Amino acid sequence: MNIVRALDVALPELHAQRKLQLLPKMERSLIAREHIEAGTPTVIVMKPKSDSYYRLTPDEWMVLELFNGQRSYLEIAELFQEQSGMSCSEADIRTFAKSIADTHLVERTRLDTNVTLSEELKKQRAKRLKRKWGDLAEVTLLSYDPNEFLNKTYPYAKFFYSTWFNLLAVGMITFMAAIFISHWGEIWHDTFEYYTITNKSFVDFLEVWILFTMAAFFHESAHGMTCKHFGANVHSQGFLLMYFLPCFFNDSGEVWVYGGRWERVATAIAGIWIELIFCSVVTVVWWATTPGMWIHDIAYKLILITGIGVVILNINPLVKLDGYFIFTELIGIGDLKERSTFYVSTLSKKYLFRLPLEVEYVPAMRRLLFVTYALLSGAYSYLLLFAVVQMVYRVTAKYSADWALVLALWLTYKIFRSRIQVFGRFLKVIYLDKKERLKAWLTPVRVALVCAGILAVLLVPVWPESIEGRFVIEPGQRAVIRAEVPGRVSEVLANEGEMVSAGSPLLRMRNLNLESEADRSHADLTLATDRATQAQLSYTAFGTAERDRQRLAEHSQALDDQVAKLEAVSPLSGVVATPRLQDLLGTELKAGAEIAEVDSLATMRARIYVPEVGLRDLQPGAHAQLRLDSSFALIAGSVATIAPAPGSLPDGLIEQDKSYTGFRQPQYYVATVPLEGDSSLRVGMSGTAKIFVKRRNLATSGWRFFRDALDRKFW
């Protein structure tokens, strides 16, 4: 056991006692500067190489400067009254000293240092243990002090802050914007495609990782260099992983002391600015080089990383990145996320859960800002975390679909574990607060009523059960017109979408051989008729002549029927559904060749593709509601027929995800719902249908689901 641990065990209460007994002494390394915030003088104080800074009033700073470790509280109070002319008591000085006892504003005694060291060692051990078991939110791989490097580099890089360079940068970025606008479709698409790593190989992923790391290094170094430009120091920079993604960090906190609002805004925006400048340079390289060159391809990938991605990821104020710090400086609320979240949380606890809490007073103008920002920021942050889980799941599913879900659930638990614990503690607080009132409210009569209500919810069949499926609109009757005799199309009399009546001609054909034969047959029939007439008048060979006439008459009628079929007519009234019917003009058609389709719109029908799992509950006559993708109106109908065998899906009706081997599409059966003809309905329209089968209670539905799962796995 070392001396730190011995002190921690043997003297656990000594630290708090010594703090009250020893006279405070101001930390000698503090840096401070007075600023005007919201019209009020404020002294911003910070200890170099620490993570926090403090806002003090000028009077509090004056008192802090009087803490030298030797003056008593009474002497400090008297000296402050003498310097400021304001009344101050010894008790006021003690209260102030107590409020800053655990901050970096005062020096620590050797005993305080030992105890603090013990506390730090505990934190480090807990942090190492947390990292050992997978602290995926932040894993620091490298940390160093870049101050000396920035001191040596700044003389060579200070031209970045000159007027001429920034005017040149504005011109280059304008030129880049013009190129982006002219190639907007492909750059916008390729940016999202490039950041979608699920369809990339390991080498591609490694390339994205390296290029993104390089861009992040220059981004964070720009923050540090700008901080140095305004006279502040930078004592911390490094490389870490946030949910497996490479990130650099840079502590530019001292600029909050040395600089004003616009200096802080400039420091926050420096990373975005340097990446846009870099992007403009590589955009010119990409624009000027020939496709196929390696530098052309690398330049385009750097455009995708430093272009639109920078604007989307960094300028967004809903997460604590550059955009957040710029936004908070512009509105003058430095801790917007913490204050808005705390305000909304306290507000909901007090008015929704009726907890005995005091809500912080917020001016009316800021209440809407706090509520809106807290809700949007919270929703965006959780969506971002779920996106990380989904990305890991998709990547893992490429290699092992069986374990992808397990890994995704484990990662979800790791990410949301602290939030789940906070929520659990909150539920415990609610229970402890409401326990006595709940016991008083739950009289025997009320308990019986609550149990009866629960049983009613579980056992009364009031919950409608439906089967959902995609549908496509088809005509109630469709006629396919085919060429009954061969011929050449000489005239097209209808077009796609044209309304035709029954018997209307669609096109005419010519067949010279057929027409010539028909004309010859007509002539032969005329001669045969004359011979039969002469034979009848002369009473000689009339039977033979009449048989020849009848044979030629039948043959001529058959040829006339075939000639008549050279004109294709519609057998029903409806709409011509065949596209580009005019393309048939001049073409030779064989007997049986399809000419056109005519759809009757007097009645229509919906073909609903029902998955196999819902077929056992589906019966003819079931009520159905259909919603078109292009309309919010509902169409009612009833199931008329159910196909006895599965049918093939029309292309594009149901999106089939083929990226996972663990996803298998079910078979679909067709249920037909007749519909009345409607001018708003068109053949080919699609949508989603719900077929209501019956009403069930929750208990039956739950037992059925459990029984089906057992039957599928253990039968």
**Which residue, 314, 334, 354, sits at the end of a domain?**
334
Domain co-membership, 169 together with 264? yes
Question: Residue 10 is part of a domain; what is its CATH number?
Answer: 3.90.930
Residue 616 lies in a domain: yes
Distance CA 340, CA 377 (A): 10
Q: Is 129 a residue whose pLDDT tops 70? A: no
| Helix 202-229, helix 294-306: angle, nearest 10 | 60
Residue 584 DSSP code: G
Residue 618 lies in a domain: yes
Radius of gyration in angstroms for the set of CA atoms belonging to the chain, rounded to a whole number: 42
Q: What is the 3-state secondary structure (H, E, C) of 102-157?
A: CCCCECCCHHHHHHHHHHHHHHHHHHHHHHHCCCCCCEEEEEECCHHHHHHHHHHH
Residue 649 lies in a domain: yes
For residue 509, what are its two tokens? 């054909």
Distance CA 61, CA 55 (A): 9
- As for how many domains the chain has, the answer is 4
**Which residue, 285, 309, 334, sits at the end of a domain?**
334
The CA dihedral of 16, 17, 18, 23, to the nearest 10 degrees, is 100
Domain co-membership, 578 together with 611? no
pLDDT of residue 310: 67
For residue 319, what are its two tokens? 């997460």
Distance CA 374, CA 61 (A): 33
Measuring CA to CA, which residue among 97, 119, 106 is closest to residue 12?
A: 119
Name the phi and psi angles at 182, rounded to 5. -70, -25
Domain co-membership, 226 together with 312? yes
Residue 409's SS3 state is helix
Quick: pLDDT tens for 650-673: 877 776 655 544 456 778 888 999
Domain co-membership, 172 together with 278? yes
Distance CA 419, CA 708 (A): 35
Q: For the ranges 368-372, 634-638, 653-657, which has the lowest average pLDDT? A: 653-657
Place of tokens 């809490």: 357
Instruction: Tell me how crowded residue 512 is: count the other CB atoms within 10 A of its CB.
Output: 9
**Which residue, 286, 316, 334, sits at the end of a domain?**
334
CB distance 559 to 517 below 8 Å: yes
pLDDT of residue 168: 92
Residue 468 lies in a domain: yes
Domain co-membership, 162 together with 303? yes
Q: Is 10 a residue whose pLDDT tops 60? A: no
Domain co-membership, 489 together with 547? yes
Domain co-membership, 15 together with 153? no
Distance CA 105, CA 370 (A): 30
Measuring CA to CA, which residue among 324, 284, 320, 315 is closest to residue 302?
A: 284
Q: Is 135 a residue whose pLDDT tops 60? A: no
Domain co-membership, 67 together with 201? no
For residue 482, what are its two tokens? 């085919």
Domain co-membership, 156 together with 245? yes
Residue 274 lies in a domain: yes
Measuring CA to CA, which residue among 278, 198, 212, 211 is closest to residue 242?
A: 212
Domain co-membership, 624 together with 517? no
Distance CA 37, CA 104 (A): 23
Quick: pLDDT tens for 276-324: 888 888 888 888 888 878 888 888 888 887 777 666 777 888 888 888 8
Distance CA 644, CA 669 (A): 8
Residue 435 lies in a domain: no
Residue 168 lies in a domain: yes
Domain that holds residue 549: 477-589
More confident position, 657 or 252: 252
Distance CA 104, CA 50 (A): 8
Q: How far is CA 395 from CA 208, 467, 661, in A?
A: 15, 32, 13
Question: Can you tell me the mean pLDDT for 132-155?
Answer: 72
Contacts of 567 (CB under 8 A, 6+ apart): 505, 507, 508, 509
Residue 339 lies in a domain: no
Domain co-membership, 31 together with 147? no
Identify any residues that bridge with 467 across adjacent strands, giving them in sequence order.
691
Name the phi and psi angles at 333, rounded to 5. -125, 95
Distance CA 271, CA 306 (A): 11
Domain co-membership, 51 together with 193? no
The β-bridge relationship of strands 574-576 and 594-611 is: antiparallel
Highest mean pLDDT: which range of 46-60, 233-247, 632-646? 632-646
Percent of the chain with pLDDT over 90: 1
